[in-house]
C-alpha cells in the first residue's frame, strides 16, 4: 500500500506538489495523469526516494519513508519495478544481461538468474532475442525489454513513467495489456501517462494532477 | 507469498555466493576492459610503474653499498701504541689481559724491535735505521674487535685510550660513520621522495578512475535506480584500480630489473678490480613481489578515493 499524507514538495521557486493525500491499495492498478508540469514526475520521484517531501508523510507498506536513511534506499528501491519512458537500457550488454541486472543486484544465484530472466523475456515475447544488443531492437521491443527488467525480480509495486510516450497507439495498447497482466497476478501498478484516450479505455482509477494539486481520483 | 516476493531477496547462502560471483565478474570484466585498450592501459601502468621503479632502484643500490661496507667493518682493527717506557714483559701481560675481553677477538703484540725491523724491510730504509741509537718505535698491539657497529667501535677506542698503558689509539672510524650516516640519509630521502611519487601516482590513478566513472555515469544511474547498493556500484571500479596498481607494480619490477641489468657489468667489473668476490645484487623475487603488492595497494587506494568522492555524486536525477 502506498500512502501520501498531506505531502507537499517545494522546489526553490515553485510548488511542484501541494498538499497531496492519496492512497493506492496493494494489488491496485492506477494511472496518474495531468499536463506536463502538473507534478506526475515529482510524485514518482518522491515514491522512489529520488527526492524527499518538503512536508507531509509518504508511507509504503505501512513504513514511513522518512525513516529510510541513505544506506537503506537501495534495498527500498528493490521493492519496485520501474519502467522508464526512454527505457534506460544499457547498450554495452545483451538483452538478457539487461533483464538479469536487477536479479544480479538483488543477489540471486546464477541458476535463478537464468531461469527468471528467461521467464521474464518470455512474458514480453522476446525470448528469441535474448542474445541481441538492445540497440538493434525497435522502440516497442526496447520498451518490452525495459518491462521485462522491471518485473524480473517480481517486485510488489510496478511504476511506469510515460511508458508509451514514444510508441504508436497499437504498440501502446499492447504495452498497457502487459501491465494489466502483471496487475492480475497481484502486482500493484502505478502508471504516469498523459495519453488520456488510452487510459480512459482501461477502466482503472485515474488520478489527475493540476499545478501540483490533486483534482480527481484521490480514491477509496 | 514467497520469500522473494516479500522483498527479502535470496537466502543468505545464495546471497554470499552471488556476492562472490559479482566479485569474480567485476574482477574479470574490469581486467578485460583494460586489456581491450592496451595503449591507454599501458600508459596508466607506466605512470605508477615509473613512480615505483625509481625509488626501488635507489633502495636496491643503497642495499648493495650497505652490503659491501659490511665486509669493511669486519676487517676493522685497532693499533694501540703503548707508552714508550713499557717493558716487553709488561706489554705481554697487557696483551694477555686484552685478549680476555669479550669484545676483543684477537690481540697481537708487535714488539718494538720487530716493528723496527719490519719498518726497515718494508721501506728499504735499513741503512738509515742502522744509524739510529735508540729504537724510536713503541711496542704496538694490534687488536681485532669482534664484529660491531661504528658507534660501538668508537666507544671501544675511547676505552682503550683511557688505559694507562696506552699512549695512542689509531682507528679511523670517521669515514665509516660518515658512510653509515650518508646511507641512512640516502635511504630516508629515498623513502620521502618515493612516498611523494606514490602520492602523485595515486592522484593520477584516481583521476583516471574518475574519468571512467564519468564515462559510465548512465549505467551507474540506472543500476542505482533499480536498487544497486553503493558497494555494488563501487565494486567494478575498485577492481579497475587494483588491476592498474598490479600492472604498475609488474612494470616497476621490470624497470628495476632492466636498470640493474644495464648497471651490472660495469659495477661487477669495478668490484672485481677491488678484489671483491661480491656481485651486484638485484631486486629478487621477494622485492618484485613487494613492488607488485605496493602497486596493488596504491591502485586500490586510488580507486577508493575516486569512488568515495565521485561515485556518491552520481545519483539518479
- pLDDT tens, A152-186? 998 999 999 988 887 888 888 888 998 999 999 99
Nearest Cα residue in chain A from B19: A107
What pLDDT does A120 receive?
94
Listed residues A110, A134, A153: the one ending a domain: A153
Split at pLDDT 50, 70, 90, the class of B8 is very low
Same domain, A1 and A75: yes
DSSP classification of residue A212: T
Same domain, A52 and A122: no
Helix B230-273 × helix B12-36 angle, to 10°: 50
Same domain, A65 and A108: no
Split at pLDDT 50, 70, 90, the class of B130 is confident
| Chain A residues 81-120 within an 8 A CB cutoff of chain B | 82, 88, 90, 92, 101-102, 104-110, 112
Q: Does residue A85 lie in a domain region?
A: no
What pLDDT does B9 receive?
47
Distance, C-alpha A184 to centroid of its chain: 16
Same domain, A142 and A42: no
Nearest Cα residue in chain A from B220: A90
Same domain, A4 and A102: no
- pLDDT tens, B183-227? 889 889 999 998 999 999 999 999 999 999 999 998 899 999 988
What CATH number does the domain containing A190 carry?
3.40.50.300
A86 backbone dihedrals φ, ψ, rounded to 5°:
-100, 25
B6 has a pLDDT exceeding 50: no
Range of the domain at A101: 90-153
Mean pLDDT over each residue of chain A, to the nearest integer: 90
Same domain, A70 and A108: no
B279 has a pLDDT exceeding 80: no
Same domain, A8 and A70: yes
Q: Does residue A193 lie in a domain region?
A: yes
3-state SS class at B161 = helix
Same domain, A22 and A108: no
Split at pLDDT 50, 70, 90, the class of B3 is very low
* Minimum-distance CB partner of A110 among B19, B21, B224: B21
**Cβ–Cβ below 8 Å for A112 and B14:** yes
* Minimum-distance CB partner of A154 among B5, B22, B221: B5
Quote the CA–CA distance of B210 and B305 in Å, as a whole number: 9
Listed residues A129, A153, A177: the one ending a domain: A153
What pLDDT does A122 receive?
93
Same domain, A68 and A115: no
A143 backbone dihedrals φ, ψ, rounded to 5°:
-65, -35
Same domain, A146 and A160: no
Q: Does residue A105 lie in a domain region?
A: yes
Higher local confidence (pLDDT), B76 or A108: A108
User: How confident is the model over B257-264, as a mean pLDDT?
Assistant: 89
How many domains does one find in chain A? Answer: 2
Give chain B's contact residues with A (Cβ, < 8 Å): 2, 4-5, 7, 9-10, 14-15, 17-19, 21-22, 218-219, 221-230, 232, 315-317
* Minimum-distance CB partner of B227 among A92, A106, A110: A106
B1 has a pLDDT exceeding 50: no
Chain A residues touching residue B223 (CB < 8 angstroms): 101, 105
| Chain A residues 123-182 within an 8 A CB cutoff of chain B | 149, 153-154, 156
Q: Would you tell me how many other CB atoms lie within 10 Å of the CB of residue B156?
A: 22
Strand partners, A63: A60
Q: Does residue A106 lie in a domain region?
A: yes
B313 has a pLDDT exceeding 90: no
Higher local confidence (pLDDT), B134 or A3: A3
Higher local confidence (pLDDT), B113 or A118: A118
- pLDDT tens, B239-252? 999 999 999 999 99
Quote the CA–CA distance of A80 and A101 in Å, as a whole number: 14
> Which of B6, B7, B21, B308 best tests the A interface by mutation, with the highest count of A CBs <10 A?
B7
Burial class (CB in 10 A: 0-12, 13-18, 19+), B100: exposed
First to last CA, chain B: 33
Ordered structural domains, chain B, with CATH: 21-71+179-313 (no CATH), 77-172 (3.30.70.3040)
Nearest partner of A75 among A88, A89, A60, judged by Cα = A60
| d(CA A76, nearest CA chain B) in Å | 7
**Cβ–Cβ below 8 Å for A112 and B10:** yes
Please give the grid coordinates belonging to residue B87: 717493558
Split at pLDDT 50, 70, 90, the class of A219 is low
- pLDDT tens, B17-37? 778 888 888 999 899 989 999
Q: Does residue A169 lie in a domain region?
A: yes
Listed residues A128, A153, A178: the one ending a domain: A153
User: How confident is the model over B260-267, as a mean pLDDT?
Assistant: 87
- pLDDT tens, A43-88? 999 999 999 999 999 999 989 999 999 889 999 999 999 998 888 8
Q: In residues, how long is chain A? A: 220
Q: Does residue A84 lie in a domain region?
A: no
What pLDDT does B246 receive?
96
Same domain, A60 and A161: yes
- pLDDT tens, A77-108? 999 999 988 888 999 899 999 999 999 888 88
Same domain, A23 and A67: yes
SS3 content of chain A, % helix, strand, coil (to 5): 40, 25, 35
Q: Does residue A20 lie in a domain region?
A: yes
Amino acid at each position: 500500500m502506498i500512502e501520501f499524507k498531506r505531502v507537499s514538495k517545494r522546489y526553490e521557486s515553485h510548488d511542484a506538489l501541494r498538499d497531496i493525500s492519496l492512497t493506492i491499495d496493494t494489488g491496485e492498478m492506477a494511472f496518474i495523469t495531468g499536463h506536463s508540469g502538473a507534478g506526475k514526475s515529482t510524485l514518482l520521484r518522491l515514491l522512489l526516494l529520488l527526492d524527499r517531501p518538503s512536508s507531509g508523510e509518504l508511507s509504503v507498506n505501512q513504513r514511513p519513508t522518512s525513516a529510510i536513511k541513505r544506506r537503506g534506499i537501495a534495498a527500498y528501491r528493490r521493492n519496485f519495478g520501474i519502467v522508464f519512458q526512454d527505457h534506460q537500457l544499457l547498450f554495452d550488454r545483451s538483452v538478457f544481461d539487461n533483464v538479469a541486472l536487477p536479479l544480479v543486484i538483488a543477489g540471486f544465484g546464477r541458476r535463478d538468474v537464468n531461469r527468471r530472466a528467461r521467464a521474464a523475456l518470455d512474458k514480453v515475447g522476446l525470448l528469441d532475442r535474448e542474445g541481441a544488443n538492445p540497440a538493434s531492437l525497435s522502440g516497442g521491443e526496447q520498451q518490452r525489454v525495459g518491462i521485462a527488467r522491471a518485473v524480473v525480480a517480481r517486485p510488489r509495486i510496478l511504476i511506469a513513467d510515460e511508458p508509451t510516450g514514444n510508441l504508436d497507439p497499437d504498440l501502446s495498447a499492447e504495452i498497457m495489456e502487459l501491465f494489466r497482466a502483471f496487475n492480475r497476478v497481484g502486482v500493484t501498478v502505478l502508471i504516469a501517462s498523459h495519453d488520456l484516450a488510452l487510459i480512459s479505455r482501461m477502466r482503472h482509477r485515474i488520478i489527475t494532477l493540476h499545478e501540483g494539486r490533486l483534482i480527481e481520483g484521490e480514491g477509496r | 507469498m514467497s520469500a522473494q516476493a516479500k522483498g527479502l531477496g535470496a537466502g543468505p547462502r545464495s546471497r554470499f555466493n552471488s556476492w562472490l560471483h559479482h566479485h569474480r565478474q567485476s574482477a574479470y570484466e574490469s581486467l578485460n576492459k583494460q586489456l581491450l585498450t592496451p595503449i591507454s592501459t599501458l600508459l596508466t601502468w607506466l605512470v605508477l610503474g615509473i613512480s615505483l621503479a625509481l625509488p626501488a632502484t635507489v633502495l636496491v643500490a643503497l642495499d648493495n653499498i650497505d652490503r659491501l661496507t659490511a665486509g669493511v667493518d669486519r676487517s676493522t682493527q685497532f693499533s694501540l701504541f703503548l707508552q714508550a717506557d713499557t717493558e716487553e714483559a709488561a706489554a705481554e701481560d697487557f696483551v694477555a689481559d686484552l685478549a680476555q675481553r669479550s669484545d676483543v677477538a684477537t690481540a697481537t703484540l708487535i714488539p718494538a724491535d720487530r716493528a723496527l725491523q719490519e719498518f726497515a724491510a718494508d721501506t728499504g730504509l735499513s741503512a738509515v735505521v742502522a744509524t739510529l741509537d735508540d729504537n724510536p718505535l713503541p711496542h704496538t698491539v694490534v687488536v681485532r674487535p669482534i664484529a660491531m657497529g661504528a658507534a660501538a667501535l668508537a666507544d671501544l677506542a675511547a676505552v682503550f685510550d683511557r688505559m694507562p698503558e696506552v699512549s695512542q689509539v689509531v682507528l679511523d672510524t670517521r669515514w665509516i660513520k660518515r658512510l653509515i650516516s650518508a646511507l641512512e640519509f640516502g635511504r630516508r630521502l629515498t623513502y620521502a621522495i618515493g612516498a611523494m611519487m606514490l602520492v602523485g601516482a595515486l592522484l593520477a590513478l584516481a583521476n583516471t578512475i574518475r574519468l571512467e566513472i564519468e564515462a559510465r555515469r548512465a549505467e551507474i544511474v540506472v543500476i542505482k535506480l533499480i536498487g544497486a547498493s553503493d558497494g555494488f556500484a563501487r565494486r567494478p571500479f575498485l577492481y579497475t584500480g587494483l588491476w592498474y596498481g598490479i600492472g604498475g607494480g609488474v612494470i616497476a619490477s621490470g624497470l628495476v630489473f632492466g636498470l640493474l641489468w644495464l648497471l651490472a657489468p660495469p659495477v661487477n667489473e669495478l668490484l672485481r678490480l677491488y678484489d671483491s668476490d661480491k656481485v651486484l645484487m638485484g631486486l629478487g623475487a621477494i622485492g618484485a613481489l613487494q613492488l607488485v603488492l605496493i602497486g596493488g595497494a596504491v591502485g586500490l587506494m586510488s580507486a577508493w578515493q575516486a569512488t568515495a568522492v565521485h561515485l556518491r555524486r552520481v545519483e539518479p536525477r
